Amino acid sequence: MTAPDERRAQIDVLLARYGRHAPAEAAHLRTLIEAERTAADRYRRQAGGQQAAVRRLQRRLDAAEQAIVEAEQRANAA
């Protein structure tokens, strides 16, 4: 289990305990927490996609720089 999953499980346990003493408040709090979890998951997926795009662009830039170096070497050798 990952650290975020463990934290989520701990929150669920605490909410269940709180729900025994204040069920309405615990239900409302659970709704708010689920909304935050959903948003966090969405942003995490978006960030992962952006990081992948940056890695692809970096590989293209590296290839272009290598092509320039090779072209300059060929020009200098001629």
Sign for the CA dihedral angle at 43, 45, 49, 51 comes to: positive
- The reported pTM is 0.64
Amino acid identity at 75: A
Report the SS3 class of residue 11: helix
Q: How many domains does the chain have?
A: 1
pLDDT per residue, tens digit, the chain (78 aa), is 899 899 999 999 999 999 999 999 999 999 999 999 999 999 999 999 999 999 999 999 999 999 999 999 999 998
Q: Which domain holds residue 15?
A: 3-77
